[in-house]
Amino acid sequence: MPATEASPKTKLSRQQYLDLYYYMRLNREVEDTMTLLFRQNKIVGGLYSSLGQEAVSTGSAYALEKKDWMAPMIRNIGALLVKGVPPRDIFTQHMAKYTSPTKGKDGTSHFGDLENLHIVSPISMLGDLIPVLTGVAMAGRYLGQKIVAMTWIGDGGSSTGVFHEGLNLAASQKAAFVLILENNQWAYSTPVRRQVPIENLADRAKAYGISSYIVDGNDPVAVYLTAKEAVDRARAGEGPILIEAKTFRRRGHAQHDPAEYVPAEQREYWEKRDPITLYERFLTAEKILDARGKKEIEDKITALLEKDREFALNSPMPPAEFAAAGVYCTGDDCHKIRPKWERPISEVTPPKSSVDPVWIVEGFGRGKTSSRENAPIHFGDTQPATEEPARNGKSPSKPAAKPPARKPAPAKPADRGKARR
């Protein structure tokens, strides 16, 4: 099941085109503001830039519906903004202020909103969000919500064990789950070619029999349309889908990393492919954005960020007496999250949920070695690998030819003696 090269031709509405532009610009301006705050010692924890990757976060998150769930990574601030998180929450969170979503208990991006925005907090152990969001998708199906779950992973994180374990779980459960693999060329200071022997990371989907796409991660329209198609397919019951977005991390792993290991010519190549610059040219050429419209968007973003930045700067640090608050759950009132049933509970409880405890195994477990019911078994025969995995439980139409079995030559007496020794 080879990866599909995304070549979207669908037209968006004028407002959709402008929405993508607005969120990309907002993403970059939020991060530029935090860079200044970091240099002023206002940022308490680490700061991770998504410069050059804004199209991936905004385009993919824009494909989700309000009821859908997502779990961002450290470079997915754009996805948070699309989902409805205000910049002030991002500022106060990184400044560890008492007005932040975690009340000052975290100085980075570890926060979410389970009840309203359906955002699961990032997990520092890379790849662990994949089984978590698979579970969210499975729970949504159980409750009858018809939701899709989405998360992101980097090229380096795709080499973790839980990446493969999570995808295998999602595939075996046909979970409504979309995974965005951001191939930004570098896992901290390790280039992709030094960590994997394949050119397209989307090919990893083949091992689990699921569909995959390859998309230009610097094209927000292509990212959105590809993600929208994947989300629609997952919601329709086709199972999980992997999207590899090819892009580039234009800054170091974090603010402390100058990224001197990146070749100058590689950096120069990708800087010429800045997603916002390229998208502005497209919008201008299509007469969707003019100088006046661009200034209106810039003024709107500037006013919003000035207001939220001042709010964050003037917010208090958490009082010492609240240090233990919110750390431990001491009763039923810790949170108010409850299952939201959108199907009759009787459907998932006996007797309606009861099934016969008998499983039919196609071919009785023989596999594809023979199509005849009583065919003899030739020990030592091998089943050649096919080009693509079976889909929907059906074997490929033309499996590779099987070499004829060879009968071993009888051993000589001297050989038999050597074998015994």
pLDDT in tens, 139-155: 999 999 999 999 999 99
Asked if the model's pLDDT at residue 122 lies above 60, the reply is yes
Residues in a beta bridge with 151: 71, 179
User: Which residues share a beta bridge with 268?
Assistant: none
Instruction: Check if the beta carbon of residue 49 is closer than 8 Å to that of residue 75.
Output: yes
* Better-predicted residue by pLDDT, 376 or 166: 166
Residue range 8-20: average pLDDT?
89
Q: In this predicted structure, what is the pLDDT of residue 17?
A: 97
Average pLDDT, the chain: 87
Strands (E), 13-118: 69-71
Q: Are strands 241-246 and 69-71 parallel, antiparallel or unpaired?
A: unpaired
Distances (CA, A) of 406 to 179, 379, 419: 46, 10, 21
Whole-angstrom distance, CA of residue 26 vs CA of residue 49: 14
Taking the domain 4-322, which CATH number applies? 3.40.50.970
pTM of the predicted model, to two decimals?
A: 0.84
Nearest CA among 251, 220, 210 for reference residue 390: 210
Q: Quick check: 104 pLDDT over 50? A: yes
On whether the CB atoms of residues 81 and 62 are closer than 8 A, the answer is no
The token pair at 99 is: 């007005």
Report the b/e string of 12-22 with b at 16+ CB within 10 A.
beeeebbbbbb
Q: Is the pLDDT of residue 401 over 50?
A: no
What are the C-alpha distances in Å from 383 to residues 207, 215, 323, 369, 380? 17, 34, 62, 6, 10
What contacts 401, CB < 8 A, 6 or more positions away? Answer: 384
Q: What is the pLDDT of residue 393?
A: 40
Q: How many angstroms separate the CA atoms of 176 and 239, rounded?
A: 5
- Separation CA 1–CA 110 (nearest Å): 36
User: For residue 361, what pLDDT band results from cuts at 50, 70 and 90?
Assistant: confident
Burial class of residue 275, CB neighbours in 10 A (0-12, 13-18, 19+)? buried
Q: Give the model's pLDDT for residue 19.
A: 98
User: What local confidence, expressed as pLDDT, does residue 417 receive?
Assistant: 40
Please answer whether residues 230 and 241 qualify as being in contact, where contact means their C-beta atoms are separated by less than 8 angstroms: yes
The most confident of 106-115, 226-235, 342-351, by mean pLDDT: 226-235
Please tell me the predicted confidence (pLDDT) of residue 382: 56
- Provide the pLDDT confidence category of residue 307 given band limits of 50, 70 and 90: very high
Residue range 293-312: mean pLDDT, rounded = 97
What is the rounded CA–CA span in Å between residue 94 and residue 45? 6
- Concatenating the DSSP letter of every residue in 230-260 gives HHHHHHTT---EEEEEE----S-SSTT---T
Who has greater pLDDT, 94 or 8?
Answer: 94
Strands 4-5 and 190-191: unpaired
Classify residue 76 by burial, with Cβ atoms within 10 Å: 0-12, 13-18, 19+.
buried
Residue 413 has pLDDT above 50, yes or no: no
* DSSP, residue by residue, 289-333: --HHHHHHHHHHHHHHHHHHHHHHHHSPPPPGGGTTTTTS--STT
Specify the 3-state DSSP secondary structure of 60.
Answer: helix
Residue with tokens 């299509």, as numbered in its chain: 286
What pLDDT sits at residue 209? 96
Regarding predicted confidence, which is higher, 186 or 91?
91
Is 238 a residue whose pLDDT tops 80?
A: yes
User: With pLDDT > 90 as the criterion, what percentage of the chain qualifies?
Assistant: 65
149-176 mean pLDDT: 96
Nearest residue to 266 (alpha-carbon basis) of 192, 332, 179, 352: 192
What is the per-residue pLDDT for 9? 65
Q: What is the pLDDT of residue 392?
A: 42
pLDDT for 336 beyond 90: no
Structure tokens at 166: 């999570």
Count helices and strands (H / E) in the chain: 11, 8
**How far from the centroid of its chain's Cα atoms is residue 39's Cα?**
30
Q: Are 43 and 205 in contact (CB under 8 A)?
A: no
What is the rounded average pLDDT of the residues 65-83? Answer: 96
Average pLDDT over residues 312-317: 96
Instruction: Indicate if the pLDDT at residue 8 is higher than 80.
Output: no
Share of the chain above pLDDT 70, in %: 85
Task: Tell me the pLDDT tens digit for each residue of 22-72.
Answer: 999 999 999 999 999 999 999 988 888 889 999 999 999 999 999 999 999
Q: Which of 244, 216, 238 is nearest to 148 (CA)?
A: 238
* The pLDDT of residue 12: 95
